[in-house]
């Protein structure tokens, strides 16, 4: 369970590794939201990330969810409806205007406090979730648990080895071409082609 990361941040961290500095990387979620990485533990077992939706108060009767926690794209609305059915929150209706970006509009029942509903949304729905990462890779024939930073270091070292191998192959090709052109020049100068 390796969480998604921003590609540009991974490249910057690889550069830091190549310079011999310590790189610190955290997951990046395309759906947005607020994340607490205080107990992340570099993606190893036992770590935990708390994710929260960004909810803004449109007015006293409307709440708008603009960014949702990772992995709750389809279950967010269902969890809000279930919490409403159980009496944990009181909403009049819910609209899903999600297209390129998330937008879930929650219309509150008359006389309901938006602040209390906001707290209840975080407490009883998927507006706040906890994810436990568990980064493991296949190393040889066995699974191996590695932190995300260590995985990036291994990949960076492997990329350097592949680039070095490509350069060595190109050097061998150029040396072969140079030897052939030198030999050709000797044949022409010594008139050996006759």
Question: pLDDT per residue over 142-175, tens digit each?
Answer: 988 998 999 999 999 999 999 999 999 999 999 9
Question: pLDDT per residue over 48-78, tens digit each?
Answer: 999 999 998 888 888 998 888 887 777 888 8
- Mean pLDDT in the chain? 88
DSSP conformation class of 178: H
CA 25 from chain centre, in angstroms, equals: 10
pLDDT at 165: 97
Q: What is the separation, in whole angstroms, between the first and last Cα of the chain? A: 71
- Residue 112 binned pLDDT confidence (cut-offs 50, 70, 90): confident
- Residue 193 binned pLDDT confidence (cut-offs 50, 70, 90): low
- Residue 194 binned pLDDT confidence (cut-offs 50, 70, 90): low
Over the range 67-84, which residues count as b (16 or more CB within 10 Å of their CB) and which as e?
A: bbbbebeeebbebbeebb
- The predicted model scores a pTM of 0.71
Round to whole Å and give the CA distance between 69 and 36: 11
Cβ neighbours around 174 below 10 Å, total: 10
């Amino acid at each position: 369970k390796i969480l998604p990361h921003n590609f540009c941040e991974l490249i910057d961290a690889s550069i830091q590794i190549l310079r011999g500095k310590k790189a610190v990387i955290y997951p990046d979620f395309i759906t947005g939201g607020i994340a607490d990485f205080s107990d992340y533990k570099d993606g190893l077992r036992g770590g935990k990330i708390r994710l929260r939706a960004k909810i803004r108060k449109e007015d006293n009767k409307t709440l708008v969810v603009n960014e949702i926690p990772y992995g709750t794209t389809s279950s967010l609305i269902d969890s809000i409806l279930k919490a409403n059915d159980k009496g944990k929150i009181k909403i009049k209706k819910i609209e899903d205007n999600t297209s390129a970006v998330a937008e879930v509009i929650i219309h509150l029942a008359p006389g309901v406090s938006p602040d209390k509903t906001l707290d209840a949304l975080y407490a009883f729905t998927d507006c706040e979730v906890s994810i436990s990462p568990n980064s493991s890779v296949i190393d040889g024939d066995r699974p191996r648990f590695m932190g995300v930073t260590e995985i990036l270091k291994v990949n960076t070292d492997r990329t350097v080895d592949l680039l070095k191998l490509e350069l060595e192959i190109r050097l061998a090709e150029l040396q072969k071409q140079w030897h052939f052109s030198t030999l050709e020049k000797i044949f022409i100068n010594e008139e050996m082609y006759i």
